[in-house]
């Protein structure tokens, strides 16, 4: 005499098999939606990284060739798609805010304010990286999950085929063929969604790491340039006597 659990499973199998088509449709719809979103992210990131690379190169050319600060600021505003240019503008605006209203840069540029500018540089760099990373986690999630979602649809379709075999009492090709072919469509859909996602994720991750390396080098150079610029100002200010400083000499 079969146990109650076996009887319950036996009664549950027809219900699960009857929902096989609906489950497969849900799986295919989810994979299609994920694939559409992935391709949208891929195309959007392609434009973002292409503009970032182009504008960064143009901004660096202006940065290293221009001796006038306003020329570099104008170039940074012109090539605003560059993460390097945006970091430079952020630091320049903060620098102007710190020294505005003072006769000499050294009057206000204390150790605390220098550390504040350095902290701002690193924070601006981190914000640029986070902005460029947006969308990449979805690509990684789709690349890892889509094959298993397709496998779920495949397993459900095969279970439906085996249920049909039990009902008809024979395992002919006409009985199992349609169900298995429909089930394999879910596997193909899962792979079709996952393969472009994983390729694009690895490609953009490599480009992101390259931009991150450029940002780190540019940030370090900005800190060095800032210190070199402030050192003569502070040295000149320290050589003034208290009377000269009080008289504004």
- Structural domain spans, the chain: 31-150+201-237
Tell me the C-alpha distance between 211 and 50, whole Å.
Answer: 12
The answer to whether 183 and 153 have CB atoms below 8 angstroms apart is yes
Whole-number pLDDT of residue 246? 37
Whole-number pLDDT of residue 236? 47
Whole-number pLDDT of residue 9? 46
Whole-number pLDDT of residue 74? 87
The answer to whether 88 and 71 have CB atoms below 8 angstroms apart is no
Q: Which residues of the chain have pLDDT under 50?
A: 1-2, 6, 8-9, 12-13, 15-16, 102-107, 233-249
The pTM is what? 0.74
Whole-number pLDDT of residue 93? 79
């Amino acid at each position: 005499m079969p146990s109650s659990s076996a009887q319950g499973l036996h009664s549950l199998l027809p219900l699960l098999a009857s929902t096989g088509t609906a489950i497969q449709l849900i799986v295919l719809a989810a994979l299609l939606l994920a694939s559409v979103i992935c391709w949208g992210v891929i195309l959007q990131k392609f434009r973002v990284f292409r503009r970032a690379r182009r504008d960064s190169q143009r901004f660096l050319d202006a940065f290293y060739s221009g001796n006038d600060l306003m020329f570099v600021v104008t170039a940074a505003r012109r090539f605003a798609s560059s993460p390097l240019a945006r970091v430079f503008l952020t630091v320049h605006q903060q620098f102007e805010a710190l020294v505005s209203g003072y006769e000499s840069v050294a009057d206000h540029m204390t150790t605390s304010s220098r550390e504040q500018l350095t902290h701002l540089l690193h924070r601006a760099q981190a914000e640029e990286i986070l902005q460029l990373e947006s969308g990449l986690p979805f690509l990684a999630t789709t690349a890892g999950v889509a094959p298993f979602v397709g496998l779920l649809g495949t397993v459900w379709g095969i279970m439906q085929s085996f249920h049909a075999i039990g009902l008809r009492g024979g395992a002919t090709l006409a009985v199992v063929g349609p169900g298995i072919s429909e089930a394999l469509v879910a596997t193909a859909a899962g792979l079709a969604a996952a393969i472009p996602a994983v390729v694009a994720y690895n490609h953009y991750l490599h480009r992101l790491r390259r931009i991150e390396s450029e940002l780190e080098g540019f940030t370090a150079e900005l800190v060095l340039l800032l210190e070199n610029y402030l050192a003569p100002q502070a040295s000149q200010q320290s050589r003034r006597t208290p009377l000269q400083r009080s008289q504004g000499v």
